[in-house]
Structure 1
Amino acid sequence: MTPLTTFLSLIGRYGTQGFAVSIFLGLALPQFAAAARPLLPITIFVFTMITFARVDSAALKELIRRPAPLGLACLWLVAAPVALVLAVVAVVGRGSMDPGLLLGLAIMAAAPPIMSAGAVALMLGLQPTLLITAVLVTTLAAPVVSPVVAEFVAGGAVPLDLAVLIRRLVIFIGGALAAAMALRWWLGEARIRANKASFDGLGVVMYFLFAIAAMDGVLAAMIATPGRVAGFLGVAFAMSFMGFLSAELVLRPLPRSDRFVLGYATGQRNMGLLIAALGAATPDTTFLYFALAQFPIYLMPQIVKPLANRLRAAAPVPSRGT
């Protein structure tokens, strides 16, 4: 092993702790946040590519032979966030909601699950195959599904250029898929699987850079408008916990470990994918909600780790994912 892969492997072994620490380091480095903001699309692209490259082809074929669980998981990961966001909007009131927050919630509902969801499942020792495959399918469908859902949830009060958003998502996701195929051809699936810890570590590094970039303006907003920041943060954590609860209550046909990881993915959405596609058109308050929504994404793996340990002890399953 080279010093680089050794370093990445070390980071990867402490993945859940690394996720939690990186968000606070990003917040503590505001002087670098503005400079790092252009790195947002790059970090998202790299993590998307890595996730595509780490697909377990044998497990994928097995899932395709049993399409019902995969279909249910994909349908859930598309429909459940929309239902949860619409419920929040109905309770708060569309007319009384900040337009930037409304667009942020629309982006959360429309975005596919975070690409790191499968990696988090692996770090927690849970079977990731169904989750990873469902994340891949919903991400590949994002250029068609996400813009339509975002416009539907946001309504006419927050206009979106659907054609531009679709084109950018096609280029972004298609490019990541092509790069992943090239990486699999170069390294081979067996070698990628053997270097699991190194890829986990690379993911933590990417998310550390992402955290710094995403925290641009957050510390200033905390000082200037603490009430707004607290409210946005509360909404983000509420969405995360509602994802777990709804999946546990509704997805009874699936094993509990699958319900658990799908619940995680329900509330943790790849908003950065749409933020990267929107680019400079993203309103400041929408970017603030996107930034604050990273806190549950980064902290939840550590928060739910004891529950995952109990699940694993009660019904241990072999982890085949890479």
Structure 2
Amino acid sequence: MRILQYLGRRAALVMALGVFIGLALPDLATVAKPLLAPTVIFMLTLAMTRTDASSLGRTSRRVGTNLIALLWLLVVTPCLFHFALTWMQVPEALAIPLLIWSGSPPLVTVPVIALIIGLDAAGALFLMIVSTFTFPFVLPGLLFWLTGLDVELGAGALTLRLGLMIAGCALVATVLRRKLGPSLLREKSALIDGIAVLLMLVFAVSVMDGVRAWLEKDPITVLLYTGAAFAASLALQLTGGLIFFWTDRENRLAIALCSGNRNMALFMAAAGSALGSEAFLFFAVAQFPIYILPVLLKPVYRFLSEKRLSPQTNQEKK
């Protein structure tokens, strides 16, 4: 128990270690790979359990802001990336996975990351759920229009599978919240966060499967793709925070976090056979900013979130 509580309090640092463990121990990464799907389900359930239902309700009522944020995440950012990548003459082998990444929904684990860096998870959770259901109907057509890449995701079947997963996690989380109660959840928050971090550690190790071989074979390409992943994540977190300056701080920071942490795995699982091996390499190295940036950006997000909203702004949110 104490170990889990310690992990919860040192969550950002422990997360960063995960990807390096996966690189250093490639056999462990191979063994852990079958745990990818169940790990995601457990992490989402824990994030939903820790998220306050009233905060989620308030977030869902911001219809205008939510629609604009959805457009930003799924339409505007891939279009901006396409124009930027074309202007910079980035090779297609890297440009295509970057474009797919920029049009993907936020990570399923983004509410966990929000909790770890000290943000309210409700906004991140809401945007993740809505974007995840929407992107199968948007990204394939957008990719075809921008690049001519014809990919069929099977939007209906994919949405149904995602819906069942999210509904199942929500049901279990609701039961847990009612059984434990708000006071016990607050008291055990470090323990719950520790379990979530342990699950993210397993995920980080498992997703590194095959990266060590790439690194030994072509280190320059791996470093290039890793640098591109960091640059893309930082650029979108900064831009997302700046563009939504007009909304409240809580919402703005959630949008910024969602902007730079994308779930490319859903696209890769549904249509990865239509892509080259470079896309899978980018998907793997894109985990580096996901796991390393929280430890670097946590003080920044904490500083920004600690500037409390005025009573008038709080009243407007209600």
Q: With structure 1 as the length reference, what TM-score do the two structures score?
A: 0.83
The CA distance in 1 between the partners of 2:147 and 2:159, in whole Å, is 19
> For the residues of structure 1 that align with 2:189 and 2:21, how far apart are their CA atoms?
25
Residue 299 (structure 1) aligned to one of 273, 288, 292: 292
Aligned pairs for 1:93-108 (under 5 A) are 93=89, 96-98=91-93, 101-108=94-101
- Give per-residue Cα distances to partners, 1:9-47, cap 9 Å, x unaligned: 332221111111112111111112223323323323333
Please list, as runs of the form range in 1=range in 2, the aligned pairs for 1:7-86 lying within 5 A after superposition.
7-86=3-82
SS of the residue corresponding to residue 314 of structure 1 reads coil
- C-alpha distance in 1 between matches for 2:232 and 2:148: 20
Gaps of at least 5 residues in structure 2 are 311-318
Number of aligned residue pairs: give it. 307
How far residue 300 of structure 1 moved from its aligned partner, in angstroms, is 1.0
Residue number in structure 2 paired with 1:320 = none
* 1:1-322 equivalences in 2 (<5 Å): 3=1, 6-93=2-89, 96-98=91-93, 101-153=94-146, 155-156=148-149, 159-163=150-154, 166-185=156-175, 187-188=177-178, 190=181, 193-194=185-186, 195-278=188-271, 283-315=276-308
CA distance in 1, matches of 2:97, 2:34: 19
Contact 1:108 1:271 (C-alpha < 8 Å) held by counterparts: yes
Q: Would you say the 8 A contact 1:45–1:172 is kept in 2?
A: no
Task: Note if contact 1:19-1:298 (Cα within 8 Å) is conserved in structure 2.
Answer: yes
Q: Residues of 1 paired with 2:192 and 2:148: CA distance?
A: 40
Q: Quickly say closer, same or farther: Cα 1:282–1:11, change in 2 above 3 A.
A: farther
- Whole-angstrom CA distance in 2 between matches of 1:149 and 1:272: 18
Of all paired residues, the percent bearing the same amino acid is 29
Residues 226-259 of structure 1 show CA distances to partners (whole Å, capped at 9, x for unaligned) of: 2211211121111111112212331121234533
TM-fit CA distance, 1:290 = 0.5
Cα offsets for 1:71-111 (capped at 9, x unmatched): 333332223431342134312437x421xx34422331232
Unaligned runs of 5+ in 1: 318-322
Query: Does the Cα contact within 8 Å between 2:106 and 2:128 map onto a contact in 1?
Result: yes
User: Could you say what secondary structure the match of 2:181 adopts?
Assistant: helix
Shift of 1:295: 0.6
Deviation at 1:218, TM superposition (A): 1.2
How far the C-alpha of 1:266 sits from its partner, in A, is 0.7
* 1:63 partner SS: helix
Aligned to 2:314: none
**Secondary structure of the equivalent of 2:108?**
coil
- What TM-score results when the alignment is normalised by the length of structure 2? 0.84
State whether residues 142 and 169 of structure 1, in contact with CA within 8 Å, keep that contact through their aligned partners in structure 2. no
Write the letter of the residue equivalent to 2:211.
V
State the one-letter code of the partner of 1:162: L
CA offset digits 1:254-278 (Å, max 9, x no partner): 2345333322221210112333334
